[in-house]
Every structure is written in structure tokens, then in C-alpha cells.
Structure 1
Amino acid sequence: MDYQNHEIQPGMEAMMARADEAAADPTRPVYHFGPPSGWMNDINGPLLHKGYYHVFYQLNPFHTDARYGTHWAHARSTDLVHWEHLPLAIWPSTEDGETSCYSGTAAFNRDGQPVILYTCTRRWGRDRVVPEPFEQWAAIGDDDLINWTKYADNPALSHERDARPEFDWRWRDPFFFFEQGRSFMVLGATGVGTPIWESESGDLLNWTYRGLASDISQECPNLFKLGDDWVMLTSPYTPVDYYIGDFDIDTYRYTHRVNGLIEPTKTFYGTNILFDADGRCLLFGRLLRTFEGAAWNGCMAIPRVLTIGEDGHPRQTPVEEIEMLRGECHSPPDTTLSGTSKVLDVRGDTLEIIVEIEHTGASFAGIRVRRSDDGADGVRIGYDGDSVWVGGIEIPYPQAAEQGSIKLRVFLDKSVIEVFVDDGARVATNFIDCGVNDLGIELVARGGEAAFRSIDIWEMEPIR
């Protein structure tokens, strides 16, 4: 196929060359969105335009890392569930010394023009004799957001001209936000804090430095207003951090009063947000895996609605649109177990499971999914009196002891598992390694009694 922009041709051909191989992999998720093939990384610059949700994301169709050949891939959806692959949006301009297109942001400027701002990287490792500082490059889209043209005056920000001497040369990951009719941008990984710029013209191409908004310095900073609070999300090479506090538009300073982890694994990472037409704050993140030589690596988490709970901490729930994938429903009867387990008649590896568990005396109460027929293997999800466990992942949750029960909502999709506890008070996401024939589901109560109520299990339809 010929594309309007011939620069994306090699990447498109590489991405499609292994699409059939990726689709045939029995471990590949079928209702989580991902590229046809290749290595998927951070979600970038989600937009809502002409009835479509657009997501951009880092994709390397050639290698299983970000350093050489990373593009911005692009997809759109009318329902946040079924996605249409579009031509690659941003490509490395190798003739200008660009090796990869790192994370960034997208928005419509004051004139309604779509603008992407992303981090341009240069040579790495043995190819780099001295540091070649990252730059922030812009691209301008057409009215359908399909074809993008790089800004003629790139770089929009250079380390030499726009950064401070103390900024790390790998400064990166710009993020736009808007307040009181003004246009701002923050950047990450400077080593000294989160710098902030303002586009006084609102064109999102020309920027004035306003100082450090915060002393926090991590990858992928997202700074946005949610209700009366200001939230910052960062991806600090470890699980995603959240901060909740205030932004002073007069001093350009962000201060937080609450912080914690969005979830306990680094699998969910590289976040971005979008406010939709209904005012929902949609949280996007990628689920990273890196298997050298694999036809596919990574996928997008189910989009989440982010809110602030009554306790002042985040709540994350899957978008309600995911329920359109529900197929046949199985509702086993309520069951009470004491020091034993029960294998259900329902089997599968593409399921949604909801269960309420009253842990009246058990030292552990929960379920096992992807259980082997002999019971030797399976992924354990449940509560031990202090923490929720998802496989080998521990999530401290002392509140459940006071409640006397927990509600689990589990999305099982081949090698991916997403677990939402008590309507998003706690969340855990990960890849799991199970035998392809390990499809059983088991209720478990160890060391005492537990009751399992309101069990619903749906077979989920694929999106491709």
C-alpha cells in the first residue's frame, strides 16, 4: 500500500509483515487493544475529535526497545473498545539525525489546529561520542488527524536554547494542560524537577519558560485538574505515582498534600489522560512486556475512569463501554467454604469475573484463575486479612478487614490480567504465564471460613 507520507512506508510494512504471526500467538490478548505487531510502549496524546477517540502510542516495528526506530502509531475508536488502526503519525527523521520519537502530548491550539509535541532523540550508546541532548519537536495534523507534517522550525524547544544548564540532557515527555484560557506544558526527567512553560500565543509551538512547577522529576508527567483538585501522575521507572494537591497559576507552582501508587506494578506505565464529552477523566496506560524476537510485545490497558474518592485518594474503574463485549453469563450459586476449595464448572481464558467475598475467618479467601486440571498451577487472587494478592503481587489493603468483605472485578485476557478491588479502590495489572490448556476457575478458603456471593462470569468477545 502507498501512503500519502512516504516516510512512514518502511514502518508500516514492518508492522504489517508479522501481523498474522502475532495474531496466531495463543498468549496474545484478544479484547485488549494492541498494534498489529511490534513493540508497544507509552500512550501519548489522546484526543476526542469528530466523534472519535484517538490514541497515539510509541511503537517500534523493527526492534524490542525504544532506542532506534520508535514511531508514533495511531488508532481511533467510537466506543473505547473497538479500535481502527490508522497510518503511523510520527516517524524518525533519520536524514536530520533523529533516531526515535519518544513520548509527548497532543492538543488543539487556539486556532483549532491539531499539534503534537514529542521528544526527538539522537544517537545512543557506542554511536554517541558525546551527549546529543534530546529536543522537543512539533508536528501539525490535518483536520482528520490522519496525516502529520513536522513543524518547519523544529526543534520547538532545544536543550541549548530553552533548557536550563542543570537539566539532564535526556529531558523528555512533554504534556500540555490548559487553565483559565491559558496554555501550559510540563516536561519530565530533568533531574531537578518539573519545569513549566507557557504558550502565550496559544499556538502550542512557541513557549516561554516559567520556572519549576515542582521538585518532582520523573518520566511522563501528567498534570491536570480533576474536580477541585490538581493531580500529577508520573512514571518513575517503578510503579506509577500519583500526587493530589493544588496548582497556583500566578506562581506556576504545584504542591501536593497526598501521594501514593496508582497500582503496585510497573506493567501499567506511561500514562495519559483525556476528558471526554461527558466530563469523564479517562486514564490510559500501556502494559509493557519485552520478549526479544516476539511478533508482539505489549498492549493497552482497558481505559479507566479516574475519580477522587471520599478518602481523597484515586479511584479507577474500567469504562462502562467494555461491558459491550460480554457474551454468555454464568452465575454459580453463592457458596460458603471452610478450609477447602471448589472448582467451578466454568472455564476460559477470556473472561470477566465479579465476585463478593466475605472473609469471616479464613486466612486467605479468593479465587484461582487459569487453574490447571491437576490443580498444581493457577493464578491466585484474593485477600489474606492485610493485603490483596494478584498472583505474586501484594497490595496492602487494611480497610478490607474493617469491611469484612471485598469485591473483586477481574478481567482475564489470555496472558493479561486486570483486577479492580472494591470499585477501583485498589488495582493491579500484569502479564501472567500459564499453560494454554490451563482454563479452570476455583474458589478458595484457607484456614477458616469464607462466603462467595453474587458470582458472575462472562465470556468476553474479541475485538479483532
Structure 2
Amino acid sequence: MQGSVGLGAQPGVALVQKAGGGPEVDQQRAGLVPPREAHHPAVGEGGRARGRRESTAARALGVVTSPQFFYEIEGMLEFAAARERDPDRPRFHVMPRAGWMNDPNGPIYYKGQYHLFYQHVTTGCEWNWGIVWGHATSKDLVHWEHLESAIEPTPGGFDADGCFSGCCVVDIDNGGLPTILFTGVRLRSNPDCGPLPPVENDLQLPFIETQGVAIAEPGDDKLRLWNKMDAPLIPLPPSNMPLTGWRDPFIFQEGGNGKDWMMLMGTGIKGEGGAVLVYTAKQLSQEWQFKGLLCLGDADTGAMWECPLLIKLDPHKEHSARVPLHTFGLRKSFSGSGSWSQSFEAVGKVDLDDEVPEQQVAYKPGVSEASRVAVDVDERYQYLLCISPDAPTNPVICYMGQYEDLKYNLEDAKGPFRLDLGDILYAPNITKDAEGRNLLWGWLQERRKVGSYDYAGCLSVPRVLSIKGNKLMQEPADQIAGLRNGASWHDSGVTLYPEEPSPLPGISGEALDLDITVERGSSEAAGILLRSWHVGGEGSAAIIFDWERNSLEVVFEAVDPDTMEFTLDAESSRRVGGNIDLRPGEPLQLRVLMDHSCVEIFTGTGDVLSTRVYRGSAPAGADSGIDFVAFGGSATLARVAAYEMSTIWKTEGVAKEEAQKVLEGNCHPMFASLSC
């Protein structure tokens, strides 16, 4: 297939990306990073001491507020400065204000609040020992606020060098308190952490892994305070097993009231492949018993399976009708049949035709379950097993099959297949939300050298997982549409002529939500060009679907060296993607969430491709930097809706100088919502 697109002589719009290294390999798993010189205090002492200091400061300033209030204000100053330094920093993906982040940990819905924990290095933007559990919370799955770290390493303890990944569940036998299960790590070289394990339990790794537990403080509904137990939950791995690791506990069957708890543990068998261990217990926080292997992979799927997940998928629910849920305000006409509007609220799925709908009543964000119809399910494939093999440079792999009697049958399962067709997602975690949906978050890595900026990494938007026939379906949670706030563009029946870019008008900025349907026509390929704002076009890319190969890819560095035009045949281009299950003659449906450097592409077939595109910041008055294009023939944009997106952070919009006034004791009324 051949084709090239000239993007004109404007500076900073050529589709060029300089060669650069991929994401750095996470040294956490290999034990190659030198130990930190200092450790975090135990959360039991540090958290309460911090609260006392901040309350004292508040009284001294004459401000009646809480420790969390000062935590938020200080965070606003940090976040505003970080945004000024890096225009590629995401706005509607969960991430810490600064520092390194990796795995999402223990997502949970508790007493009207969603809680997301995550691996966080607070002292730098590269992975290091001493990692803590960062914490963010939301009432609506859309707008988030930062809380203090949930658990931190204890000097001299089994987790002295890091509180690694795990899960969080509600213990109904212990007053309904949320309980964290996690892997504590101490370096073998750390002289303050007690004796080495017995020979029969020593995995001979550079670090020693132990399973720990932390229980929420009774009465603390926001889960700010956690009581981390000094004694390990499970002190040692099984005896005399040649394991490659022993970490990342995950509860896949909740117990209580006489019912057994069941837990998975990531591992591998030396010389054979990755594996998952199974444990059971009558009580969540004690007396866990090893029951054997859930399943065993082979060398082709990795030597160490990290962050295992096992869930029963619910039937996919199709929309029974595509209902326009957009509230339109001021309209401004452009050439063609498209229409522009200033959005006051934009939620759910949007139905598009040749005319802009009349103003609608604003609906609650999301699509009601009543508007969905369940589809058939092949019960042989209803249990999803998801594992992260060896290192973050590898894709997350999945199986769909059957679980029975503490065993998962890999031989008869569908798979392995990739959870995400991109190159940045690793170590996902999952929970049931208030509506009973399976929600998944994954770690989205950087594709530029970390250490050059004051942050690294973020989490994906929440994905709803379900099954349609024998196919895993992934789609963004409906609530994400609640972030549509600003200008929007709607059009339909747009002809895309071969190699002639059709710019997306009417909107601007680097945080966008695109919902498009493309009909093939006579084209060989079609897609979206993402122009860069850097000099020379560094950081540009293209989202391309090849109709013959059923291949969805993001193409980087796709430039003809002679003409400096975008081309599908550039030898230097880097490609990320894979095949999707699109039937012949079926239109291509894409939902593209662009959040500065983060790009998540959801397809109508239930697939997802996540990657990073570092386009930089658009100059004042510039358009969106997005063009639609076809190759080898004409295609049709049957429908397109594009929206500007707002931030997820409650406090980002507060001016830096106003935050400084509060720290000086001049409390502005706008901060009232932060006091709690």
C-alpha cells in the first residue's frame, strides 16, 4: 500500500518524530536499583504526626480547617508549577502531583467513594526502593482528589524497602473494614531487617518478599488512616519450590460468614514458566493456607507472572438506542454540514445525523442500564485470567476460559492474547463498582526518558470489562463523558479523498474526546493524523486502520525523507498496534481519548490501543492539530463528534496566587469545599 500526505509548509506540523529510546525497564522486578539511603516513616506514626503539625499550623494562622485542607493547597502549588514545566502532562488521567508512579493497587468502592491506590515514589521521578501506596478518591468516578499516602515502609520491618502491589477488600467479619493485602519487600543487603529466610523458603533473590496486611481505621470513612500490622500475613513462600518470585496478592473470591476467602499470588517455576499460586483462609487477615497452582504457563509467556487477576465476566450490554445526550449552547457555522457548539454538558453516547439536534434536557452523566440490552455469552470463556509477564516492556496477556476447584484450564482457554494493543499498559487491577460493573485500571508508562521531568506515569481511564459471545469487550466508563466541557464539533457524511487531509475544525487544545465512524468506500486505509507543535514536527503520529489486514496501528516517524510528507511506506517509522475483529463491510468505530501525551483508542469491536504521543502545546489561536485522512481511495466519515475535555482534579483550576493566600492565612470562600 502506498500513499503520502503533504501537510504544507507551516512550521511544526510535519509528521516527524526523532528516534528515541523506549520506556526504561522497571528495575523493581530485577532488583538492580541500589537501595535508598533513607526510608519513609511508619504510617502509624508519620500520618498522625503530619496531621498534628498541619492542625497546629492552621490554628496559628487562624484558619479553621483540616489537615487534608493544607495537603490540597500545597498540592495546588506543586501541580500548577508542574503544568507550566511540561505541556504533555495529562489532565484527565489519575496520577500523583509529582514523582514516579506504576501499578494501580487495590481499587475499591466504599461508602459512596471510589478509592484508587497506586505505587508511588515520592522522592523522585524514577523507580526506587521505599515505594509507598499513593491514594486518590472520587465520588463520581470522574472528579478526583489526592489524599495522603495510605501505607508506607516501616524501617527495620519486613517492608523496609517498599510496600509493593496488592489488593483491597472489605472484611465483613471485621466490622466491614477495608483491608489491604500487599507484598512487603526488604533488601537482602539491608542489615536492619532481621535474619534471612530458612533455606527451604529462600528464593535467592536480591530482595525478600513477604505478604502483609493493613486495616482501615474504624470510623475513618475516607480511608486516610491505616493500621499496618507488624506481623506478616504470610511470612514465607511455599517450601522447596523453585519459584522465580512471590508477590502481588489478589482476592478473587470474597469470604466471610463461614465462606472461604481465596487469593492468587504471582510467581513462576524456574525452567518452566510463569504461574499463579492459590491460597485460602477462613479469616481474611490470618491463617492463609497454600493450596497449589492455579495454572502454569510456559517459557513463551514469561518466567514470572506478576499482578494476576481472575474475574467472572458479565454479559456485554449493547445500547438499545443511541440517544442524543448533548446539551447545545451557542452555535457557530463552518463550511460543510458540521456544527460547532459551546458545551455546557455533554454526556453518554451522541447520535449524529445531517442536522444538529435541538436542545435536549441534560441527563445524568452516563448511559442508564435500562438503555442497554445484554447479549449472548459463551460460558466456556466467561472467566478472564490476566497476568503481567516479567517486565513492563512486555504486553499484559489474557486468557478466557473456565475456573473450577482452584484450577484454571489453560489448555482449553482462549488465549493468550494481549489486553491492550499498545506499548505502555502494564500491571492492571480491577474492582466491582457501585453498579456491579468490572472496572479496570492499568499503569500507562512513559515513552520518553524518565528522570527529565518531575513526574512519570499515570493510570488509564477506568475501563468496563464484559464478554460478548467469546470476545472480551473493553469500553471507557460512561462517566468519562462527564468531562466534556467546552467547544464541540459534530458532522456526518464527510467524504475523505485519498491523501487529502480533512482538518477537524471548531475545537482546540490537547485534551479531547473523539467519537467517529468511518465507512471504507474504495480506500485501502483511513485514519487520523496527529500533528505536532514542536519545531520540525517532532512527536507527530497517525492512527491508521488497514482494511485488508484488519490492522489498527499508531504510526510514528512516518515521513518520506525526500518530500518530508507523511507516508505509510516510510522505512524509519515505528508502529504500535495489532489486528481487530472487524467483519467485512462493517464500518470502523473509534473512541479516541487524547489527554496531552496519553492516547487511548477504543474500538467498536471491544479492543483498546494505548500509547504516548508527545505533541507539545499548541500556540495561541491554533486549531486542534488533527486531520482525518484516507489512502488508496475515498472513505466516508459517517459520523464524527469531537469534544474538549476538562480536568479530573477538583483543585487544578484554583489560581496559584489564591492558594498562596490561603497558606498565609487568608482563606478565600472558594476553598470551602476543601475543608472536611
TM-score normalised to the size of structure 1?
Answer: 0.90
CA distance in 2, matches of 1:4, 1:204: 19
CA distance in 1, matches of 2:592, 2:522: 23
Counterpart for residue 232 of structure 1: 385
Residues 132 and 169, structure 1, Cα contact 8 Å, conserved in 2: no
Q: 1:357 maps to what in 2?
A: 518
1:285 aligned partner:
442
Cα offsets for 1:335-360 (capped at 9, x unmatched): 11231222232333111011111112
- Of 576, 579, 592 in structure 2, the residue corresponding to residue 410 of structure 1 is 592
Question: How far did residue 189 of structure 1 move?
Answer: 2.8
CA contact (8 A) 1:240 1:266 kept: no
Kept in 1, the 8 Å contact 2:104–2:118? The answer is: yes
* 1:75–1:83 contact (8 Å) kept in structure 2: yes
User: What is the CA deviation profile of residues 253-291 of structure 1, one whole-angstrom value per residue up to 9, with x for unaligned ones?
Assistant: 111411211112341111111112322111111212261
| CA displacement 1:187-242 (0-9 Å, x = unmatched) | 1133362110001x223332011011110451100112224522111111311111
Residue 185 of structure 1, CA deviation: 0.7
Q: CA deviation at 1:63?
A: 3.1
Question: Secondary structure at the residue paired with 2:420?
Answer: coil
Aligned to 1:254: 408
Counterpart contact for 2:126–2:450, Cα < 8 Å: no
Structure 2 residue 552 is matched with structure 1 residue 388: yes
3-state secondary structure, aligned to 1:34: coil
Structure 1 residue 146 displacement after superposition: 1.8
Q: Equivalent residue for 1:431? A: 612
User: Is 1:307 aligned with 2:466?
Assistant: yes
Residues 450, 68 of structure 1: alpha-carbon distance in 2 compared, 3 angstrom cutoff: same
- Name the CA shift for 1:445/1:234 in 2 (closer, same or farther; >3 Å): same
Please give the alpha-carbon distance, in whole angstroms, between the structure 1 residues aligned to 2:92 and 2:125: 23
Q: Distance in 2 between matches of 1:371 and 1:121?
A: 42
**SS in structure 2 at match of 1:323:** helix
What is the distance in 2 between the residues matched to 1:375 and 1:331? 31
Worse overlay, 263-272 or 441-450: 263-272
**C-alpha contact (below 8 Å) 2:600/2:611 kept by paired residues:** yes
- Pairwise CA distance, 1:171: 1.3
- Give the distance between the partners of 1:414 and 1:196, measured in 2 at CA: 41
The answer as to whether partners of 2:420 and 2:607 remain within 8 angstroms in 1 is: yes
Q: Are 2:171 and 1:109 aligned?
A: yes
Q: Which residue of 2 aligns with 1:197?
A: 279
Partner amino acid, structure 1, of 2:306:
E
Contact 2:262 2:278 in 1 (8 A): yes
The alpha carbon displacement at 1:460 in A equals 0.7
> Does 2:288 align with 1:214?
no
Structure 1 residues 373 and 220 mapped into 2: Cα distance closer, same or farther (>3 Å)? closer
Distance in 2, matches of 1:85 and 1:74, equals: 6
Aligned-residue identity in percent: 31
Deviations 1:337-394 (A, max 9, x none): 2312222323331110111111122222111134559995632113112111224444
Is the alpha carbon distance of 1:270 and 1:398 closer, same or farther for their aligned partners in structure 2, counting shifts above 3 Å?
closer
Preserved CA contact (<8 Å) 2:88 2:616: no
Pick closer, same or farther for the CA change 1:375–1:368 going to 2, 3 Å.
Answer: farther
- Secondary structure of the corresponding residue to residue 482 of structure 2: helix
Structure 2 runs not aligned, ≥5 long: 1-40, 51-70, 197-203, 298-303, 315-378, 557-574, 650-676
Q: SS state of the match for residue 21, structure 1?
A: helix
1:27 is matched with: 88
Whether 1:330 aligns to 2:489 is yes
Contact 2:589 2:603 in 1 (8 A): yes
Find 1:38's aligned residue among 75, 88, 99: 99
Contact 1:89/1:148 (8 A) holds in 2: yes
Measured in 2, the distance between the counterparts of 1:305 and 1:130 equals 37
Contact 1:21 1:295 survives alignment (8 Å): no
Report the count of equivalent residues. Answer: 453
Partner of 2:149, secondary structure, is strand
Amino acid at match of 1:308: I
For residues 364 and 147 of structure 1, do their structure 2 counterparts lie closer, same or farther at Cα, with a shift above 3 Å needed? same
Distance change in 2, residues 1:152/1:68 (3 Å): closer
Superposed displacement of residue 329, structure 1? 1.7
Using CA pairs below 8 Å that are at least 6 residues apart, which structure has the higher relative contact order? 2
Unpaired runs of 5+ residues, structure 1, are none
Structure 2 vs 1, CA of residues 20 and 348 (structure 1 numbering), >3 Å: closer, same or farther? closer
Q: Which residue of 2 aligns with 1:460?
A: 645
Kindly indicate which of the two structures has a greater share of residues assigned to strand: 1
Write the distance in 2 (CA, Å) between the matches of 1:407 and 1:124: 51
Q: SS of the counterpart of 1:233?
A: strand
For residues 167-192 of structure 1, give each alpha carbon's deviation from its aligned partner in whole angstroms, at most 9, with x where no partner exists.
43631111012168321111113336
Task: Specify the code of the residue in structure 2 equivalent to 1:302.
Answer: V
For residues 82-161 of structure 1, what are the structure 2 equivalents within 5 Å?
A: 82-96=143-157, 98-111=160-173, 112-123=176-187, 131-143=206-218, 144=221, 145-153=223-231, 155-159=232-236
TM-aligned CA deviation for residue 19 of structure 1? 3.9
SS at match of 2:402: strand
Residue 626 of structure 2 aligns with an amino acid whose one-letter code is: I
Secondary structure of 1:448's aligned partner: coil
Q: Aligned with 1:81: secondary structure?
A: coil
Indicate the RMSD between aligned Cα atoms, in angstroms.
2.8
Structure 1 position 69 matched with structure 2 position 130: yes
Aligned residue in 1 for 2:530: 369
d(CA) in 1 for partners of 2:516 and 2:535?
A: 24
Q: Aligned to 1:445, which of 620, 625, 630?
A: 630
SS at match of 2:633: strand
Report the TM-score when normalising by structure 2: 0.63
8 A contact 2:534–2:616 mirrored in 1: no
Q: Provide the C-alpha distance between the structure 1 equivalents of 2:414 and 2:626, rounded to a whole number of angstroms.
A: 38
The separation in 2 between residues aligned to 1:125 and 1:401, in whole angstroms, is 57
* Partner AA of 1:299 in structure 2: C
SS of residue in 2 equivalent to 1:96: coil
CA distance in 1: counterparts of 2:434 and 2:80, whole angstroms: 36
Comparing 438-447 with 235-244, which one deviates more in the overlay? Answer: 438-447
Q: Helix, strand or coil: the match of 2:227?
A: strand
SS in 1 for 2:422: coil
Query: Structure 2 CA distance, aligned partners of 1:19 and 1:152?
Result: 35
Q: 2:525, 2:489 → 1: CA distance? A: 24
Q: How do residues 316-327 of structure 1 correspond to structure 2 at under 5 angstroms?
A: 316-327=474-485
CA shift, 1:44, in A, is 0.7
Matched, 1:298 2:469: no
- AA in 2 matched with 1:195: L
Q: Which protein is bigger by CA-based radius of gyration?
A: 2
User: Which of 231, 236, 252 pairs up with 1:177?
Assistant: 252
- Residue from 1, 4, 7 that aligns with 2:46: 7
What amino acid maps onto 1:27 in structure 2? D
SS in 1 for 2:491: coil
Q: Which moved more, 1:319-328 or 1:179-188?
A: 179-188
> Contact 2:422/2:576 (CA < 8 Å) preserved in 1?
no
Pair 1:205–1:86, CA change in 2 (3 A):
farther
Shift of 1:403: 3.1
Structure 2: distance between partners of 1:373 and 1:356:
29
Q: CA deviation at 1:152?
A: 3.4
Tell me, what secondary structure is at the counterpart of 2:46?
helix
